[in-house]
Chain A
Amino acid sequence: MASAVADRAWRQSTPERIEPDLAALWRDLARPDQPIARAVMSNLVVFCSPTDADHADAGAITVPLGLNDVAALHPSRLIVLEHEPGRRTPDAPFAAGVGIITFGPPHARYGVELIVVKSACAEASLPSIVRRFVRGDLPTTVWWTEDLSTTSPLDALVTMGRQLLYDSRRWDDLRRGVSALAPLVAGRRVDLADLNWRRLSPLRQALEHAAGPAGSTSRHEVTVRIVHRRGEAALAWLLAASLLATRDHAADDAVLSVVIRHGTGETTATLTSHSVVVAQGSAPPFVVGVPIASEGDAVAAELRTLSHDSRLDDAIDALARWFAVA
């Protein structure tokens, strides 16, 4: 669970004054009797659509995105870029704000920096904004909160980070989402981190467990039937692609259900919000727990992962090839 936010210092700023204003906030927060530590393990560049306000509004951003939880679990320099996609007109950002979110008891406070920039710039100029504010000596993650099947990630921006974080659950158009990611997968240019894929992990683990030693099912022709809840098509396709990519195989509250027939045997795995139940023939079913995690937990867990998720890459790659043929 994330630590509760103790306080948030916030002030309106201008793009040029962001660093001095942040420094001033730190000075204001530093008190001899109540020291405060700066906590920063990485940069998290959050790309999102602009809010209605013509000024930077911390509350309008942090609450819906769960940024307080993320900051508590994996303290990052939070750089929120509110940008209206499709802009071509060169222009400066028109509003900015800076804040420090503080956590912990008075004797052990720590703070996390928050920068909000509202931009109407030409997209080609966005990297110049991001470069200005990231701490280059720390890992950088770009969190694309928009549906990237409708708002393709900006290559120049995405490749500034080591990791692209997104949620395929938001995708309206699965094919477009996959095709947006395919070039990144092909070039292995950034590590992909899909929050939806993370949800699939228990099911994948359960299926791997059910399959037994690697290759035990590959000698048979297998049939797979996947049933998913409304709105979970991306999850279903990711699972299908995962099974395809590995060449192995693979209720009312079920998020996703997969039936794998191999020879005369059958394995059914059902992902619910709290568990994966796997049934195999007449054997008693076994259950794999699903971690209880908020979006903030999931985002923080992805930020901590510095390794490449080759299984997700393979799945995206398989989907891209699949859709290209279909």
Chain B
Amino acid sequence: MTIVIFGGNGDLAHRKLLPALYNLHVDGLLPPRIAIAGVGRKDTPDAAYREFAKDGITKFSRRPIDEQAWQTFAAMLFFVKASLDGEQVLAPLGARLDIIEHERGLPGDRIYYFALPPALFVPTVKQLDRARFVNRTGDPVARLIVEKPIGRDLDSARAVNDAIAGVFDERQIYRIDHYLGKETVQNILVMRFANSIFEPLFNQKYVDHVQITVAEEEGVGTRAGYYEQAGALRDMVQNHMLQLVALVAMEPPHALDADVIRDEKLEVLESLRPIEGAAIDANVVRAQYAAGFDLGKPVPGYREEQGVDPCSRTETFVALQIFIDNWRWAGVPFFLRTGKRLPKRASEISVHLKEVPPILFNANPAARLDPNVLSVRIQPDEGFSLGISSKLPGPHVRVYPVKMDFHYGSTFGGSSPEAYERLLLDVIAGDPTLFMRRDAVEAAWRWVMPILERWAETTTDSLPAYPAGDWGPVEAGQLVESTGRRWRAL
């Protein structure tokens, strides 16, 4: 097996891919015969590329570098210079890969990883086709990994998917959403379908509402060029958050086969109630962060960030109320929020169960009991907790909210594998369960398009702002409070 990373000397390879491959190597999970080839425009000797990889592993690996393990890992690393401009530009790459594979006795099975800007997806896949790198029969193996975003709207997503489908068969394509590789996200299915206590509650009879929060403490940083064109809805909601909604809301699959699970997730995406016209203003809040504080330090507002248009209308925060119009979830609101420069990095799904009747311990209207909340912490501090009411010890009957809490870290010890480790391993094994299928990507785009179109039309109204370091604009609070509920504090 040869893993060919286009964008091999880029940020993603440096911070995520090479450390993930190193950890798989240390854990003995990589195939015994493997080569990893970084591909990029810059002329980089193999030795220099290995130093680049070592630097990334030293800085970003979940475990410290081990010199012996590094030496064996480094021997697998190569770099090939390649340009995408012109005809047959990948021929030299093919020749070099042939040599590497021949020298190492590899059969020519390859995984092509596009760690590239989205604009280069289509040109690169066309070059792969011209160079005859891809065999649809699967012998030798040819698999493609593409990073999000797949397009910036439905039409461009279809165009990217069409171009890729012209070269690769759908079963050869692995559209990566690293959220789906996180341990806790994978554990959502285990929690729901391997425990008899939870699944019977996951429906409109018992669930009052669901909240999903993906909060980032960082600002736009060095990604202004990308982010100005994307915004929070494209960057987070269309992919990560709708995938989380699908996992929480899906029906039980009849098998753990990739397509069975992905079919069930697609059902959820296709059951999302469209938000169109005036309903967008009532159910969607967008905002930008203004100057504020991050952990005590003053930080600039979004429009003052380097590379951002001072008149930018790109949203750095979005909150939505959505509904899934199926039998299971009829009438249950799902509240989603995501944003940059929020107080902390935290991703969580919380399932809020209905209140107990207002009698006995819940009789005082001025002091209602906290409803039970099942929360799934995706990051950091992965785990689950269930909030329950308990009697305080003592002679009086006083009720106090307590939590039954499960933490991966202190339960299992050691650090969980990074999402990219699991996902790369799945691609090597040929398991697409945790990857997005074309129909799901396009269903998600189809659902967000009316919102994007309405925002594109309304350019005159002012965009709400929130101070950096706060939990979003007041309008986001009102979105939830207008239904008699509140955002869960994280």
Contacts and interface: CB of A to CB of B under 8 A. Distances in A.
A320 B471 CA distance: 34
A288 interface: no
Given A26-B410, A27-B409, A306-B400, A125 B488 contact: no
B388 to A, nearest CB: 12
Nearest to B345: A19
A116 to B, nearest CB: 14
Contacts of A16: 295
Interface in A139-154: 139
Nearest to A100: B410
B380 A119 contact: no
B294 interface: yes
Given A23-B380, A304-B392, A128 B412 contact: no
A304 B297 CA distance: 34
A126 interface: yes
A121 B401 CA distance: 33
A124 B293 contact: yes
A126 B297 CA distance: 9
Contacts of A122: 296, 298
Interface size class of B (residues with CB under 8 A): 35 or more
A131 B344 contact: yes
B292 interface: yes
A307 B403 CA distance: 19
A162 to B, nearest CB: 11
A126 B380 CA distance: 22
A38 B292 contact: no
A290 interface: no
Contacts of B297: 90-92, 121, 125
B410 A41 contact: no
Interface residues of A, number: 43
Interface string A106-129: 000001000000010110111111
Given A136-B489, A137-B373, A307 B411 contact: no
A27 B488 contact: no
Interface in B169-212: none
Contacts of A132: 217, 295, 343-344
Interface string B382-396: 000101000010000
**Candidate in B296, B298, B367, B400 with the most chain A CB atoms within 10 angstroms:** B296
A40 interface: yes
A1 to B, nearest CB: 13
Interface in B399-426: 400-403, 405, 407, 409-415
Given A27-B415, A128-B294, A20 B410 contact: no
A93 B296 contact: yes
Given A23-B381, A27-B415, A307-B367, A139 B401 contact: yes
B293 A30 contact: no
Contacts of B409: 23, 26-27, 30
B282 interface: no
A26 B416 CA distance: 13
A125 B375 contact: no
B367 A128 contact: no
Contacts of B375: 137
Given A19-B380, A132-B344, A306-B400, A91 B411 contact: no
Interface of A: 15-16, 19-20, 23, 26-27, 29-32, 35-38, 40-41, 90-93, 111, 119, 121-122, 124-129, 131-139, 304, 306-307
